[in-house]
Amino acid sequence: MPHYEFYCHACKKTFSKVLTLAEYEEGEVLCPHCGSDNVEQSWSAFYAITSKKSA
Ligand SMILES: [Zn+2]
């Protein structure tokens, strides 16, 4: 399942969601913190996580 990172402009929090392709194309992503749809897909959060692999 694809996993997406989002940033909410309304409450300035990031969150992640697992969406099906159909859900993703619908664009119906709501912030779980405040319920706003003023969200933006965030790739920086994804890179922050993957770059922390300091083995
Ligand atoms: Zn929010």
Flag whether 43 is in a domain: yes
Task: Quote the ligand 1 centre to 46 CA distance (angstroms).
Answer: 18
Q: Which of helix, strand or coil describes residue 4?
A: strand
Angle at 27 between CA 30 and CA 47, to 5 degrees: 75
Contact in structure between 14 and 6 (CB atoms under 8 Å): yes
Q: State phi, psi for 40 to the nearest 5 degrees.
A: -135, 140
* pLDDT tens, residue order, the chain (55 aa): 678 889 999 999 999 988 888 877 887 899 999 999 999 988 754 555 566 665 5
pTM over 0.75: no
Domain that holds residue 44: 3-50
Split into its structural domains, the chain has a count of 1
Task: Quote the ligand 1 centre to 53 CA distance (angstroms).
Answer: 29
Flag whether 55 is in a domain: no
Task: Quote the ligand 1 centre to 15 CA distance (angstroms).
Answer: 9
Task: Quote the ligand 1 centre to 55 CA distance (angstroms).
Answer: 34
Flag whether 40 is in a domain: yes
Flag whether 7 is in a domain: yes
